[in-house]
Structure 1
Amino acid sequence: MAKKSKSELAVEAKEVASIIAAARKARHNFALFHGKDDLIFKAHKSKNKSACRKMAKDEGAGAKGAVGALEVEEKFVNLIVEDPDSTPANFAKTFRAYLSARGLKMKVRLLSEDGDVIDDGAEGDEEAADAPPELGDDIEQVLEKIAKHFEAMKTSLLRCLNSAPADYRERVVKAVELYKKAMKAKSPDTALKALAALRKLVAATPSPVIITDRLSSAGDDPEALGKLDGLVNTCAAQVTSDPAFMDRAFPEMRDMRKALKTAMNKKPPPSNIAELKAMKEALDTMFYDHVDKPPRAHGPECHGPGLTTQQQEDRILKKKNPRTGKKFKGKPVHKASNFLDEAAFVESQMVLRTQALDHIDDNGIKPPPKGAKPVRLPPMKAKLVDVLGPNWQTSVQGVKRKKQKGQKDTCVDATWGPDSNCKAIYDLLDDGTLRLVTLYPNPIA
């Protein structure tokens, strides 16, 4: 983040101090979001949360943050957040640093609307729980140390219970009960095993907020990212049982895939590379399978990997669907192209779907009424070289119709060039999700 000048901080310090002083007397509504260079904080006594959010957005607020009610008592700033599950990881600590940079030495707590502490600004509990106590002769001392480790992970545990799918939450609750039963029975070895199992469950919770938490903790460290394999596995299991999870967690799973790619480019040890590659391939399969089914099948069936040049020629000359071999209705096509691997298809989907989401947000497009016809978005485009890198031509193939006077039409290789792009069309559905209509690599001729 770019550092702000002393004069800029001084202006903000005066404004923030005024808000804190006023909030000591009366509850305010607030909006606190990550911006391009720093946090953006807006609060007002009479304006509602939506108005505070708009004020923050007008100053460049991003998507990650929180809205809610602000209360100040003594040295505590209490943020009573509206949606705890979507609050960024370590947000209390981040806001505490923001206040400190403006001369306000305050403690920050994030609370649920029921008054539960969901983040007290303490250091992350990953490190605190990494080295559980060793079993010794003094059982009471060991049990006390184990209890401290359980307390250290309470914030993450609460976030897990708030955001996990119901069936997964049941597993976590059972693990907590086993831990408490072992502690009551004063059985430290069983308690340690239960605590270790609970930590794994919490760390691998398939939820958008947990994905963000784990990515925030791992940063760009290839070894730390390699430990997210359990999270990838549970996300895959969740997508299988609940396909809609992919829509809910798309931005976070996209960020995880991007982090894995970045880590692989840092050239870690071969064993770590293999681990990261396997995780990325698992995510690629999840993303690809998510669109490779009706009514989302056109992109993969006509432009996905595994198609031969002959199938593409039959699509042009015989109007045959490459996947089914059946003749399709409508006008004949004059170009046919496809991606050669899932990764290239998914990479293009990542970029173009993000474009579509930005288009919806920038233009204030609302989902249609329930049961109404989807809203067709304009085509999203991006140059293949920008999406797939300098070797993009190894990931696409295509043919085009060639007319011959007095003879049947034939096909020749499509012409690719630096301006060749990938193109996607999306529908916005009544539940607010996007449906991929088609996605394909687009040769220039």
Structure 2
Amino acid sequence: MNVRAQAAKVLNQVVEQGQSLSQALPAAQKDLNPKDKALLQVLCYGVLRTLPRLDFFCRSLMQKPLKGKQRAMHFLILVGFYQLLYTRIPSHAAVGETVDGTKALKAPGLKGMVNGVLRSFLREQEALTEKADQQDTLKYCHPGWLVKRLQSAYGEEKAASIMTENNQQAPMWLRVNNIHHTRAEYKTLLDNAELNSFDAIDDENSNALRLEKATDVYKLPGFTEGWVSVQDGAAQLAAHYLGAQENDLILDACSAPGGKTVHTLELQPLITQMVAVDADEKRLVRVQENLDRLQLQATVIHGDASKPGEWWNGDLFDRILCDAPCSATGVIRRHPDIRWLRRDSDIADLVALQKSILNALWDKLKPGGILLYATCSVLPDENELQIKGFLESRSDATLIPLSAQYNSASQGRQLLPNEDAMDGFYYAKLQKNA
């Protein structure tokens, strides 16, 4: 099986057919050996991180674009470019294996064309790179609409930093289950397994460890026994900020895949009930799998968070986690396909949905109760401006400090990609006036 051809197929599915990488890649990896599985992931992630730049090189070297049934060949060429630019694979091997991919894609007649384009690139690489660096969309490998939004929100310098971080590989974070071990105890277990790790910089992230190098989850001590889970450090802050107390009735809205649900239960096992709701029935399977592995209990409901009347039993909640659907612009380094699957017009629709969910859930919160609003976005429309508008429309809502450490009540907390090595995230904590 030609791994370059497999990569071209996956990329075609993502870019041309709109499939998510998390959907297309595992299916393609299923029958590969570990070495080829890893290479396929590197090639797919790498091309998606650098897509417009590679597209530019392809347009510059070809008289006309490849369309229709030949479109997969376009992505095969991009895979070749990526190897030549960003990997240690010798150029002769990268070219040879990529050219051989034409057979696997059932287009052996295009072998000469692919070979010619790749060899032309080797000759003209320096000049083409200089031209690409003159355009922000090519230099930072982000779509123009997102470049404009980031520059408008943060200024050119900080926007450039955000986009640069988006193009890096995200680290692997672990969440230690304190029902079984303290973080220090589990860190010792990792050391014994020769897995180096670092404590989170943020003191509030008391369960978080960052691995020096990513590893297979089944190599983690006690993974199947529920001693540890994989979850980014920024996402782990949600359960700490929610601050569940004994006897609370808690709702985790938009809960899939369930990381925040189970973390809340790990921190406070004496709540009255955890209700986990999500509109995606297939993703709720992941929530139940997480609960089962960690031997925790929750009421899992398939339902629309913006329409609680369809599933709510009438009991007001003490605390609500509103992990709202968003643009996911804070986790692009983990999901490089997001920037190509999203459209500028999506943002207004997402803002309207977030507003609808916030208002619907607020009515199901007890007086004196807490709602924690969270997104994995870095766009102000979905975050600070969304909360500002909500507070202006609700006289019974007060923005309160997230914690003693992060005690600004004038705004939520916006984390940017790679801030303290974490993903981009936003949090705001609201209390319902009694």
TM-score tier after normalising by the smaller chain length: under 0.3
Q: State TM-score, norm by structure 1.
A: 0.26
Q: Which has the higher contact order (CA 8 A, sep 6+)?
A: 2
Which of the pair has more CA radius of gyration?
1
